[in-house]
Amino acid sequence: MSLTYPDTQKDLIDADILNLHAEYLPNIRQVSLQISAAGASDAHPEICLSASRRAVTVSLELPEPTGYVSETIKLPAKVTESSSRLLSSATRNSAAGSNAGSGREFSYRMQVDDAELTQRNAVEEHMDSFVPWSAGDMRPSTKLRCTRCEEVILDRPSDLSDEDGASHTGWVWKDLPSGNWAEMMDFWHCHKPDPEPHEKQDATKQLTEDENSKIKGYGASNQVVATPGTVLVDVATFLVYALECKGLKKAPKESLDGSSPSEAELLCNNCNTLVGVEDTIAKGWRLFKTSLSAANNLEDGNWEAHPTELIVAAQLLELIERESARRFIIHCGKKEGLLIWVFNPDMRFSNSSSHHSIASQRAMKVFFQHAPNVAALLHPEPGKTSSLSLEELRLPMGTYASLTAALEASNGMLPPSARSFQESWRVGVLHRFEKALRHT
């Protein structure tokens, strides 16, 4: 993902005074444009739609020493020709806008071009992957390192041989099934149809079915286990064979209830950053994507790392797909946490603030609030109402802190009138991973 930053001090000043925010609203086929003019209660901007109808320029004349300011953003979707007349009319209407603190806000809705809708639907069908670093993105020569100190964690497979006697020449990357895979397999084995009477005596056929179930991975006793030379990939972690990692040390996992933890944390030898955890059930180590950068081709010297919010957003999207839930309690094992309501899991927006891109970005809109007692929400006392649709997501402490910072920053980029919802909720934006744009 590419974020655009201002090049000059004047750009920073202009972005603070004049802020543009646009969102694509697919359900009503419109683009919403919000303009905030800080410190100018009597301001009235000039708005100009580009000839391509894909960008908007807003200009504002303010008293000295500020003077003339101007901002341009690319719209999340191409709008109709009538939108130009709408914005031109709005420019001439001196009574437009509303007061917001010491500034003024303006809001407009523009209809999306029909041809744009057809093209966008075709493109979106091929861009539905929301997981960063799936197995298909990796290569046999891919290496992983700590993002903080650049210590290499995963270099190359150990000099081991497989059952056929062939040595490993590179990593084999495999995507793990969805989180409810084991539950579905248990259900299938408990409720599969009884065999026909004439099949009950066919021991050979039964033995063949049992062997197939083990090979294909749906046997009742089958489980995911780390193996040499193979990296198993899920939404947020890499499962690797412990002996093939380097530069890591074990540390006792902090236990909040005083019990002895069964799994250890994995820290970088060089900088003590939490990089992963021991998975005793899978007999391997799980490395956090949020703590790693990857290089598929060391010759070009490019190491790629994904922002924390992209990976957490992918975890939320996976839970939405699997559990059909929209509300989550997110925490790091402490008493306090965040209550998240995913209002719109897939949106397009652009923003002119200094730390966001003026180009269209794919994201999810969320409402969030502080949760002072996580346990009370997850396990309410007898007699108290519980939320059946509330799902839990536990994150490493550093990942949780980064997520909180990302939500706070995105809330600050929104127009003042759009930063809260129903008093108790604050509004935030989490960027989504987009495969087509990951190298831009």
pLDDT digits (tens, 9 = 90+) for 288-324: 999 999 998 766 778 999 999 999 999 999 999 988 8
Identify which has the larger pLDDT, 118 or 193.
118
Q: What torsion, rounded to 10 degrees, do the Cα atoms 141, 147, 148, 151 define?
A: -10
What local confidence, expressed as pLDDT, does residue 24 receive? 93
Say which amino acid occupies 60.
Answer: L
What local confidence, expressed as pLDDT, does residue 5 receive? 39
Q: What angle do helix axes 397-413 and 308-323 make, rounded to 10 degrees?
A: 100
Q: What torsion, rounded to 10 degrees, do the Cα atoms 402, 404, 409, 411 define?
A: 160
The secondary element (H helix, E strand) that includes residue 129 is none
Q: What torsion, rounded to 10 degrees, do the Cα atoms 159, 162, 163, 166 define?
A: -80
Determine contact, residues 67/45, Cβ cutoff 8 Å. no
- Ranges of beta strands (E only) in 16-164 are 18-25, 30-37, 46-49, 55-61, 68-74, 98-100, 103-111, 143-146, 152-154
Helices marked H in 308-349 — which ranges?
308-323
When pLDDT is cut at 50, 70 and 90, the band that residue 65 belongs to is low
Q: Is residue 253 classed as helix, strand or coil in its secondary structure?
A: coil
Report the C-alpha gap between 417 and 428 in whole angstroms. Answer: 13
When pLDDT is cut at 50, 70 and 90, the band that residue 158 belongs to is low
For residues 61-76, give the mean pLDDT: 81
Report the C-alpha gap between 131 and 175 in whole angstroms. Answer: 11
The secondary element (H helix, E strand) that includes residue 67 is none
Residues 6+ apart with CB under 8 A from 372: 335, 336
Residues 6+ apart with CB under 8 A from 32: 22, 23, 25, 107, 108, 109
Residue 28 predicted with pLDDT over 80? yes
In which residue ranges of the chain is CATH 2.60.40 found? 9-124
When pLDDT is cut at 50, 70 and 90, the band that residue 154 belongs to is very high
What local confidence, expressed as pLDDT, does residue 291 receive? 97
Q: Tokens 């894909």, residue?
A: 54
Which of 302, 170, 172, 191 is closest to 239 using CA atoms?
A: 172
Name the CATH architecture for the domain at 135-176+224-295.
Beta Complex (2.170)
Determine contact, residues 285/248, Cβ cutoff 8 Å. yes
Say which amino acid occupies 40.
Answer: A
Report the C-alpha gap between 110 and 85 in whole angstroms. Answer: 10
pLDDT digits (tens, 9 = 90+) for 340-374: 999 999 999 999 887 767 788 999 999 999 999 99
- The first and second tokens of residue 169, run together, are 């020449």
What local confidence, expressed as pLDDT, does residue 364 receive? 95
Residues 6+ apart with CB under 8 A from 359: 2, 4, 74, 350
Residue 89, phi then psi, degrees to nearest 5: -65, -40
In which residue ranges of the chain is CATH 2.170.150 found? 135-176+224-295
When pLDDT is cut at 50, 70 and 90, the band that residue 215 belongs to is very low
DSSP state of 112: B
Q: DSSP letters of 152-216?
A: EEE-S--S-B-TTSPBP-S-EEEEPPPTTHHHHHHHHHHHPPPPPGGGTT-HHHHHHHHHHHHHH
- Ranges of beta strands (E only) in 289-407 are 292-295, 327-331, 337-351, 361-371, 390-394
Identify which has the larger pLDDT, 402 or 9.
402
What local confidence, expressed as pLDDT, does residue 56 receive? 95
What is the average pLDDT score of the chain?
81
For residues 409-424, give the mean pLDDT: 91
Q: Tokens 């009503």, residue?
A: 28
- The first and second tokens of residue 184, run together, are 């579905």
- The first and second tokens of residue 141, run together, are 């020569």
DSSP state of 240: E
Please say whether the structural domain 9-124 has been given the CATH code 2.60.40.
yes
